[in-house]
Structure 1
Amino acid sequence: MKPATDTSGFSTESGSTRAEKIRLFAQPAVVLVVVAAVLIWVFSSELKPNEQETLNASALLVNLGDHLLITVVVTALVVVIAVPLGIVLTRPGATVLAPFFLAIANIGQAAPALGVLVLFFLWTGWEGLWVISIPLAFYSLLPVLRNTMVGLQQVDPALIDAGRGIGMSASAVLRRIELPLAMPLILAGLRTSLVLAVGTATLAVFVDGGGFGVLIDTGYKLQLDRVMITGSVLAVALALLVDWVGAVAEQFLGPKGLNA
């Protein structure tokens, strides 16, 4: 007969796994239902002429494309900067620099996103994609940088020694042992950064960057409730779908033994 603690532990683990699987299926379904309901409500209503200019299929697709492009560019910048930097800062001899770079990343996230965006706009005079993407990448950098460092630092030194003992080079140990074991934390940080990027991408409207912020801003300025509600719902829905994609990535891209 198994101890009660074993049975209890199994039940807890099984229940947690089942709840996560239900969430993975339920979250996108609920989001799609809500989006469909809002779009049906909008397109079945008698729209005013100024509402028709923004609440039509082509305009919504343009806004969606702009929002997704900003998110993809921000994510690419964050990954290209934060993951290599996190690796370097965990190597012997460079750890002394870690507090300095973490402090900079902390400033980026602690500062209001709109303030960082406006300051960058005033400094460069740019408009469009890059003037929103670079500040948002700075704003979203911390979770990936911190999680990369923590993930690499928590790898058992005995595993690293074992790899070196069988003749692996330092780069091979990093590639085949350290990074795979750190991947769950790196993906969790990237998921957080993605959600931050999608949410703050609505600020792109202030620098002619497009996105769903155009609907929110237009609806607010012209007192068009349908336009403002549509933009808000679509921005929230996109953030939730991106969060879901991140959760799926955590489930299927991490080391198989850790996901069991």
Structure 2
Amino acid sequence: MAMLTDKVALVTGAGAGIGRATALKFAEEGARVVVADLNVAGGEETAELIRKQGGEAVFTRADVTDAAAVDALIRTAVDTYGRLDCACNNAGIEGAVVSFTDQSEDDYEAVMRVNAKGTFLCLRAEIRQMLQNGGGAIVNLASIAGLIGFTGLAPYVASKHAVNGLTKNAALEFGKQGIRVNSVCPGGIDTRMLDSLADQATGGAQSSRDMMAPLHPIGRIGRPEEVAELIVWLCSARASFVTGANVPVDGGYVAQ
């Protein structure tokens, strides 16, 4: 039986990678999906993929760093489907891979603006709407970089620790009002972002698979669909007693 029949789900950064896989999984589990991304072509493709598989989806272009745009995104969900039950705040950027002392203020601010501020703005707007609905479930995309450090990625690490902190705080504040908030912390996942990090770290000498697979005890990198499975489960009633958690989905990386 589908986990989210008749629910309405929102996914930011849904034009590719984990976001797209999550939007497709929400639809597979019976939800009507609001697909959001700055990348219009990618977002519209995700929405069309959902419709081709028999699901319901609407695409809207949204900049998660703009409070007015985020509020408009929530209005789109409510105007289109009448409510908002689930949300996955996935939009994020990686920034440059450089030494701490060589990190620029501009790069730091750009990464924090999308990953930390963007998650905050989405959480705030989603919670406001879910309070009107009588509850809901939200999953934020953090990273194993929100649990441990990574040389060369100071702004990204800081931003993902912030995501995990926002997750815990929102869960504490709104648990009694029927809103659960969790984060997932992926390890190396087969996405454009991982390819970009590998290219920067090795100067293009190694693929993301060659560089990252040996670092995971499970012996490989993950697939976006594997992260999506966890996200959608956390948004379902099957995870009704799970909130405030920062859950690794990392092939054992942080267990080392």
TM-score where L is the length of structure 1: 0.28
| Structure whose residues are more often helix by fraction | 1
Larger Rg: 1
Greater fraction strand: 2
